[in-house]
Amino acid sequence: MTTTYWGHPHKCAMPLIFLSLVFYSGISISPNPAVAASAAEINQDVQVALKDLYSKSTSARTLGQKAKGILVFPSIVKGGFIVGGQYGEGALLRGGKTVGYYNTVQASYGLQAGLQKYGYALFLMTDSALNYINKSDGWEIGVGPTIVVIDTGASASATTTTLQSEIYAFFFDQKGLMAGIGLQGTKITKIEK
């Protein structure tokens, strides 16, 4: 089978283009160990991000006071063209202190193009949700405890009596030109720092 692109015949050019995009996306999103954040940098970024989230959302602040743990990813980079991915590192807090470090990874494909940076926090409201994260060897969101994403703009109407889920997610500091932030299919894995 011969296919013509840009006036030149190429055998199976489409799979090669697709594989090139996958490879490029993987390189551009994958963490580089030489520039990976230190534990101290992650701790500082997590505290700043959480403080900023609390200043913008009273619901997040209220949930934070009742949560069994808070998993904060202060800076996630998402990018791609057709095939994309995202990566970020964060920390799990209990009683305001870091008890573990995690990364968040997601691959995607479809009609997408651009680069985006944002952060998110997961408020773990039950012991079972906290235990699930601690015991699982990589947690894929959408499998396990239920998560409710709360829009920080609409969160003012939420109260602790109306909020009854195991985990709540808040997105913050969204920058860039890529539509759609979602958690479905995201994998969270404990890492050593």
For residue range 53-96, list pLDDT tens digits in order: 999 998 899 999 999 999 999 998 866 555 567 789 999 999 99
Q: Show the domain range for 69.
A: 38-191
Q: C-alpha 124: how far from its chain's center?
A: 15
Rounded Cα distance, 171 and 151, in Å: 7
Distance from C-alpha of 167 to C-alpha of 119, rounded to nearest angstrom: 16
Q: 9 vs 87, which has greater pLDDT?
A: 87
Based on its alpha-carbon atoms, the radius of gyration of the chain, rounded to whole angstroms, reads 19
Residue 44: its H or E element: helix 39-56
Asked whether residue 143 is domain-assigned, the answer is yes
The answer to whether residue 81 is domain-embedded is yes
Residue 167, domain member (yes or no): yes
Query: Contact, 61 vs 163, CB < 8 A?
Result: no
Does residue 147 sit within a domain? yes
- In this predicted structure, the answer to whether residue 20 has a pLDDT above a threshold of 70 is no
- In this prediction, residue 139 carries a pLDDT of 76
Distance between CA 91 and CA 179 in Å, rounded? Answer: 26
Is residue 29 in some structural domain?
A: no
Q: Which residues contact 15 (CB under 8 A, 6 or more apart)?
A: none
Per-chain mean pLDDT for the chain:
73
Q: Please check whether residue 1 lies inside any domain of the structure.
A: no
C-alpha angle 126/130/136, rounded to 5°?
140
* Domains of the chain: total: 1
- For residues 115 and 121, what is the distance between their CA atoms, to the nearest angstrom? 20
Q: Is residue 87 part of a domain?
A: yes
In a domain, 32, yes or no: no
pTM over 0.75: no
pLDDT at 41 > cutoff 80: yes
pLDDT tens track for 122-156: 999 999 999 888 777 777 776 667 788 886 554 44
Q: Side chain identity at 92, as an amino acid letter?
A: L
Please tell me the predicted confidence (pLDDT) of residue 114. Answer: 61
Query: How confident is the model over 24-52, as a mean pLDDT?
Result: 72
SS in 3 state form for 107-156?
EEEEEEEEEEEEEEEEEECCHHHHHHHHHCCCEECCCCCCEEEECCCCHH
Nearest to 21 by CA among 107, 106, 114, 84: 84
pLDDT band at 173 (very low <50, low <70, confident <90, very high): confident
